[in-house]
């Protein structure tokens, strides 16, 4: 194989061609390009109908009502709107907030900002398998706690968190619960009629939809109140104003519909592929699996290699598009804060790679990748570069 293999589906996914086919119907002069807010003419009314159809499909994926779905530009915006919006609206009841050390930056950086604005934040620690326990949440809740934000599936190590456990605690204590479900939606069944979650973030580009569109679920019965973060033309009930991008939203809706219909079969296939990959990798000398193997989303592996040099490993693996565990913040390379929180030493964390497969991954690709990683690691071990 001489074309690079894409194994980075947790970073983003290609759009499904069936999604693209729908998206292009809502763009040009021959399509349905009207402003969905223009209710005085057919162009607008048709666009509005397309948006509402998409809203139903998004709602169905999480078993919510369409009027509980508010379109945004993606999960980063949904997280900002949920956390900041809820904190600002409810701050008279208290200024204590709870999240965890392994959240996505789109969550952590909002909390950092709220700290600068006078809120107090407790960061829950994961165990060595990357799981944040419901009991640690229970212990952290105080009389002045107003909001908890914890993710459904971790984007680096793929761990499935105890969201049902969290929701039982927050609903019993009268504290709002926000869940970032970017990596869970379309992969795990999510039933918001069963789990009492108040706010839930979604994004289209992790489920074969377009980039730049997502949604925030806001429970309406009983109504969860949040303050808008931006102000403008009153769209989305004023919670998130701005002209609705019809084509993006249609793509998101179509992606949700496909995900719901194909989730069971797709996950079965991906788990089999992932397990096949792990079976071939697990005997490599010095390999360590990061994150719980049981409570783990079907498409993810995250591994470290004891004794290897992180930079050389990533460089040597250039024919397969995997994600390096470390984050490049401007000029410096930092080990993953998620692995750090789990107690993985920095030198080892530097060698972390995330392998995430998806809808278009084939068995041949998985076998090639397993062989390629085996050979590369063996070669690096033989030439024996110094660590660090």
Residues at the contact surface with ligand PLP, assessed by CB under 6 A: 74-76, 104, 106, 151, 155, 180, 182-183, 203, 205-206, 214
CB-nearer residue toward ligand PLP: 48 or 323: 323
> Smallest distance, Å, CB 43 to ligand PLP?
29
Q: Is omega for the bond preceding 212 within 30 degrees of 0, making it cis?
A: no
> Smallest distance, Å, CB 216 to ligand PLP?
11
Strands (E), the chain: 5-6, 69-72, 96-100, 120-124, 145-149, 176-180, 199-203, 214-218, 287-289, 300-305, 320-321, 323-324, 327-329, 332-334, 353-356
Contact, 158 vs 186, CB < 8 A?
A: no
CB-nearer residue toward ligand PLP: 34 or 186: 186
CB-nearer residue toward ligand PLP: 74 or 186: 74
> Smallest distance, Å, CB 82 to ligand PLP?
11
CB-nearer residue toward ligand PLP: 51 or 150: 150
Q: Which of 32, 256, 304, 328 is catalytic?
A: 328
> Smallest distance, Å, CB 115 to ligand PLP?
20
Q: Strand 199-203 and strand 176-180: pairing?
A: parallel
Rounded to whole angstroms, how far apart are CA atoms 238 and 221? 18
Structure tokens at 170: 């927050």
CB-side exposure of 98: number of CA atoms within 13 Å?
24
DSSP string, 301-355: EEEEETT--HHHHHHHTTTEE-EESSEEETTEEE--HHHHHTT--HHHHTT-EEE
Among the listed residues 101, 75, 216, 80, the one whose alpha carbon sits nearest the alpha carbon of residue 157? 101
> Smallest distance, Å, CB 316 to ligand PLP?
26
> Residue 176's beta-bridge partner residues?
147
Among the listed residues 174, 175, 129, 135, the one whose alpha carbon sits nearest the alpha carbon of residue 292? 129
32 noted as active-site residue: no
CB-nearer residue toward ligand PLP: 76 or 145: 76
> Smallest distance, Å, CB 211 to ligand PLP?
7
Rounded to whole angstroms, how far apart are CA atoms 314 and 310? 6
CB-nearer residue toward ligand PLP: 230 or 385: 230
Is 111 strand, coil or helix?
helix
Give the residue closest to ligand PLP by C-beta.
74
Rounded to whole angstroms, how far apart are CA atoms 260 and 364? 26
Q: How far apart are the first and last CA of the chain?
A: 31
Annotated catalytic residues are 328
């Amino acid at each position: 194989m001489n074309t690079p293999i894409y194994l980075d589906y947790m970073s983003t996914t290609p759009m499904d061609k069936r999604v693209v086919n729908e998206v292009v119907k809502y763009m040009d002069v021959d399509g349905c390009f009207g402003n969905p807010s223009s209710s005085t003419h057919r162009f607008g009314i048709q666009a509005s109908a397309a948006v509402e159809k998409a809203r139903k499909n998004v709602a169905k994926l999480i078993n919510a009502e369409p009027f509980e779905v508010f379109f945004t530009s993606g999960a980063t915006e949904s997280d900002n709107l949920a956390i900041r919006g809820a904190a600002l609206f409810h701050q008279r009841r208290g200024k204590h907030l709870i999240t965890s050390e392994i959240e996505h930056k789109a969550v952590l950086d909002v909390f950092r900002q709220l700290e600068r604005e006078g809120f107090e934040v407790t960061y829950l620690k994961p165990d060595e398998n990357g799981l944040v326990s419901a009991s640690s949440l229970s212990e952290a809740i105080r009389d002045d706690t107003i909001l908890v934000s914890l993710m459904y599936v971790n984007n680096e190590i793929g761990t499935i968190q105890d969201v049902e456990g969290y929701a039982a605690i927050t609903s019993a204590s009268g504290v709002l619960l926000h869940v970032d479900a970017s990596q869970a939606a379309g992969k795990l069944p999510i039933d918001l009629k069963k789990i009492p979650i108040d706010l839930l973030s979604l994004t289209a580009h992790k489920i074969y939809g377009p980039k730049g569109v997502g949604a925030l679920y806001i429970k309406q019965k009983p109504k969860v109140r949040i303050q808008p973060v931006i102000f403008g033309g009153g769209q989305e009930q004023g919670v998130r104003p701005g002209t609705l991008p019809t084509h993006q939203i249609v793509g998101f809706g179509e992606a949700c519909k496909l995900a719901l219909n194909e989730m069971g079969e797709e996950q079965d296939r991906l788990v089999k592929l992932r397990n096949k990959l792990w079976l071939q990798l697990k005997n490599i000398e010095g390999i360590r699996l990061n994150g719980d193997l049981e409570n783990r989303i079907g498409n993810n592996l995250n591994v470290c290699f004891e004794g290897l040099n992180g930079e050389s490993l990533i460089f040597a693996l250039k024919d397969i598009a995997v994600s390096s565990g470390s984050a490049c913040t401007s000029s410096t390379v930092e080990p993953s804060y998620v692995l750090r929180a789990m107690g993985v030493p920095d030198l080892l964390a530097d060698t972390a790679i995330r392998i995430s497969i998806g809808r278009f991954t084939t068995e041949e690709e998985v076998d090639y990748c397993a062989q390629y990683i085996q050979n590369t690691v063996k070669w690096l071990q033989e030439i024996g570069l110094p660590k660090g």
